[in-house]
Amino acid sequence: MKDAGVTIAATMQALYDGGTTVLNTDIANAFGTMSRRCIYDSVAEHLPKLVRWFLTYYGSSNELWLGTGVEVGKCHTGVLQGDPLAMLFFSMGFQRCITATDDLMKQAHVEGDVQHTLAYADDAWMSGDGETLLDKLADVDRVFMDLANAALKPEKSKILLGKNLSAEEAARIRAKAALLGVPVLDRGMIVMGIPVGSPEFIKEEVGLLLDKYSADAEVLKPFTVQQQCCLLKMCINARPTFLRRAYKPGTLKVPFAKFDEIVTRTVSAIAGVMG
């Protein structure tokens, strides 16, 4: 699943290019509020061999402790940090919500609409007719609350207008979004850390990301030469790999060439061969 982000971003890009609007939802404290009953039902249905594990760690409330060793309360929802199966358990509960949301959205759309519901970790994206997506947002919120005790945060959700929508369509979507407090984007959005949208937006955002990554090269000097080499290779130079995979070969040459040049100069400085 290491390319899951690239796959989802490519899907969102194709939908945007095809004129389909995309709604990205945000859930308040998703990992900490997910109903354990929702997770249990999914585990019992799909992975019954893990029921005993789940009940051992989540069958009762868990204590919450400060770093000083003081107990400050108890928690009876969500998954635990440090549990190696926490992501699996959360995803199984989240999947029930996503399946129900997908059914809801497909019923709301008319034949011919390009409607999809995708999710990764606690992020979800719904594509389709922009007005319909917004009309059903309250119903999606109820689905998450009823199934998983999770609440959507409209102000942190985003809706990206499909490419080449008419001015009238865009205006109607903006009006509905304003009533719900959902920000409207028309150039692009960041999907799993990958810019998606118009060519201009992608070029601008990729350039900003690469500038941010390469700026870390300026803080290597306090470390030993060996440490600088390791940090440059493993932490700085490796960071844009997922971005490079997200776009066609030969595109975005300028920002990637600029990043490579900074890495090369840093290698030369570490080696002591700078002019």
Domain ranges, ordered by start, for the chain? 4-33+86-195, 198-271
pLDDT score of 247 more than 80 = yes
Q: 191 by DSSP, 3-state: which? A: strand
Percent of the chain whose predicted confidence (pLDDT) is above 70:
99
71-75/21-25 β-pairing: unpaired
pLDDT score of 1 more than 60 = no
pTM (two decimals)? 0.84
Task: Give domain 4-33+86-195's CATH architecture.
Answer: 2-Layer Sandwich (3.30)
* Token pair of 102 as six digits: 């997908």
Least-confidence region, from 102-106, 118-122, 136-140, 198-202: 118-122
Give the burial string for 148-181 (b: 16+ CB within 10 Å, else e). bbbebebeebbbbbbbebeeebbeebeebbeeee
